Structure 1
Amino acid sequence: MSSETFATAIFLITAIVAAAVLVNAFFPIIYQATSTFTQSSSSADERLRTDIKVINTFADSPDARVWIKNIGSARIGKNSINMSDVFIGAEGDFTLVSLDLTDIPSNGEWNYSVIETDTNDYWDPRETLEISIKSSKIPVTKGDYVYFSIALPNGVNLAKTFTASG
């Protein structure tokens, strides 16, 4: 009788140790998967709440100006705007232009300012961003098509084709 109790105790201890080893082996994997799903969900939520629209354009070689309105419910930080990619040029012959934070962009660069009621370092919903671009890729002839595209770091992008003014 005591041998049966002893054998049962050994099996019980072995089962507890095996369960502990199993939990220690799988817990980090489950935690990492949960973290990945949380980050993915947060990123998707940010993209869904971010929406922008071109409301006006102007291009006269080598300068262009584009006004973009934040029509989403998410505010876009200054760092996100600074890390955005901007492309401009004739259809089929456009280039990536780099950010220039000075007042007047030099050749092949762009800068921006938030107009309307900017009181912080965010591009808030319903505010308009004015982008000034200087590039040799902007068409010279009036009526030529200009391709403009901006891609935010969160994956939201916007492309617009419009005609050159002069």
Structure 2
Amino acid sequence: MASEAISSSIMIIGAVLGAAVLITAILPAIFSAGDTFGTVSSSAEQKLKTDFRIVNTYTDGTVVKVWMKNVGSNRISENDLYKADVFLGIDKEVGTNSYDRYVHSSVGGSKTFSDDLEQAYWTIGETVEVTITLSADSIVDGDVVSFTFTLPNSVRRSVTFSLT
């Protein structure tokens, strides 16, 4: 009788310890998975709420200007504009085509773009002017210009235009 009680006690203690070890191993994995799903969900929500449109373009051959309007339901930070990927391609009717990536700079320089944002955020409904001054290639009649603007969250807009 005493041996059965001791055996039962040992089995219960073993079961409790086994359950504790199992809970200790599984709970962190469950919480980690929950954090991952929350992060992915938040990122997807931000991407869905971020949107902009290219509303106008202009080039005189050496300067390219593109106006973009924030039509999403999120404001876009100045930092996100600075980290944006800007690509400009020139398909020459005569000569060598070029396609380059430009980085943000408020002082200009080779392969840079600037904007006219005057505050820390590109607010909903606001139009931003992006300016690229070409250093080498100039655009002439017959050339086709391709402009692509991609935010860090991968929201992207492109437009194709020519000398106006």
Q: TM-score, normalised by structure 1?
A: 0.88
**8 Å CA contact retained: 1:110, 1:131:** yes
For the aligned residue pairs, the C-alpha RMSD in angstroms reads: 1.7
Listed as ranges, the gaps of 5+ residues in structure 2 are 92-96
Q: Distance in 2 between matches of 1:127 and 1:137?
A: 32
Q: Distance in 2 between matches of 1:138 and 1:72?
A: 34
Q: Which runs of 4+ in 1 moved over 6 A?
A: none
> Alpha carbons of 1:137 and 1:108: their partners in 2 closer, same or farther (altered >3 Å)?
same
Letter in 2 for 1:97: Y
Letter in 2 for 1:76: I
Q: Distance in 2 between matches of 1:4 and 1:149?
A: 78
2:74 partner SS: coil
**8 Å CA contact retained: 2:63, 2:134:** yes
Q: Match of 1:23?
A: 23
Per-residue deviation, 1:138: 5.7
Q: Match of 2:113?
A: 110
Q: Match of 1:54?
A: 54
Alpha-carbon displacement from aligned partner over 1:13-36 (angstroms, at most 9, x marks no partner): 111100111111122222221111
Per-residue deviation, 1:145: 1.4
Give the percent of matched residue pairs that are identical in Structure 1 and Structure 2.
35
Per-residue deviation, 1:163: 1.4
Per-residue deviation, 1:164: 1.7
Equivalent residues, number: 159
Per-residue deviation, 1:136: 4.4
Q: Match of 1:33?
A: 33
Q: Match of 1:140?
A: 139
Letter in 2 for 1:93: S
Q: Distance in 2 between matches of 1:137 and 1:154?
A: 31
Per-residue deviation, 1:135: 2.2
Q: Distance in 2 between matches of 1:143 and 1:58?
A: 15
Q: Distance in 2 between matches of 1:62 and 1:107?
A: 13
**8 Å CA contact retained: 1:138, 1:146:** no
Per-residue deviation, 1:5: 2.2
Per-residue deviation, 1:37: 0.9
1:61 partner SS: coil
Q: Distance in 2 between matches of 1:20 and 1:107?
A: 63
Q: Match of 1:126?
A: 125
1:13 partner SS: helix
**8 Å CA contact retained: 2:52, 2:72:** yes
105-114 vs 143-152, which moves further: 105-114
Listed as ranges, the gaps of 5+ residues in structure 1 are none
